[in-house]
Amino acid sequence: MPSETLFQPAGTLVLGDIRRFQYFHLNHRLWPFTVFVVLFGLLSFLGIVVTFSSGDVERITNPGLFWVVSLLIAVLYLLGPLFGAKRQFARQRYLREPMRYYFTDGRLRLEGPNFSSELTWSLVQGVYETKTLFLIYQSPQLAWILPKRFFWGEHQLIERWKEFVIGRLERPGVFHKLRFPGTHL
């Protein structure tokens, strides 16, 4: 990369980074549905407790099965990103390799020992900040994961990088600062 590179955060992703991305990606648009699933899961658990505490065999086989299946669906929905992240991290070797980002006035570049990718700022559809990550979306389904620790823990460097990115985006509104649901990830 030419000497015009202003920021070069580098490091190696860990499974937790992929897991945080998976949960963020699922919940940043579908958070109302996730709240519904959590509430429905709690209701299902309560339904199981009430149904099985009655001791009535007929009540256990009919509505009891509904509550058990409902709880199972809720748990699978909530654990899906965890298993997806583990599978993705295991199958895609480049995610486990050291990587370096290069940010210049005109381009972004991500490279590692066995991969490289480059795009112009005009192709960035969104940048989302969570508590521990920046997610740089190239499309609604594809994002680069940039952990904040890649900046070597320098808060001022992170703030300068954010200002730099906002200044390069075609629409500054596509930089989404830390807010719910990303506050906990």
State pLDDT tens for residues 7-66. 999 999 999 999 999 988 888 778 888 888 889 888 888 888 887 787 776 666 677 778
In a domain, 9, yes or no: no
Three-state secondary structure call for residue 8: coil
In a domain, 121, yes or no: yes
In a domain, 7, yes or no: no
Both 178 and 104 in one domain: the answer is yes
Both 25 and 82 in one domain: the answer is yes
**Does the pLDDT of residue 183 top 60, yes or no?**
no
Both 102 and 179 in one domain: the answer is yes
pLDDT (tens digit per residue) in 89-145: 999 999 999 999 999 999 999 999 999 999 999 999 999 998 899 999 998 889 999
State how beta strands 126-129 and 175-176 pair: parallel
Both 87 and 98 in one domain: the answer is no
Note the pLDDT of residue 1. Answer: 47
Both 76 and 34 in one domain: the answer is yes
Distance from C-alpha of 34 to C-alpha of 71, rounded to nearest angstrom: 14
Both 88 and 141 in one domain: the answer is no
In a domain, 162, yes or no: yes
Q: What is the dihedral of CA 50, 51, 52, 54, to 10 degrees?
A: 80
Note the pLDDT of residue 173. Answer: 79
Polymer length in residues for the chain: 185
**Boundary-marking domain end, from 42, 72, 92:** 92
Distance from C-alpha of 59 to C-alpha of 81, rounded to nearest angstrom: 34
**Boundary-marking domain end, from 26, 60, 92:** 92
Both 124 and 134 in one domain: the answer is yes
pTM of the predicted structure, to 2 decimals? 0.82
Cα-to-chain-centroid distance, residue 6: 26
Note the pLDDT of residue 145. Answer: 95
Both 136 and 146 in one domain: the answer is yes
Both 134 and 171 in one domain: the answer is yes
Domain count for the chain: 2
**Boundary-marking domain end, from 92, 110, 140:** 92
Domain that holds residue 161: 94-184
In a domain, 5, yes or no: no
In a domain, 3, yes or no: no
Higher-confidence position of 171 and 83: 83
Three-state secondary structure call for residue 117: strand
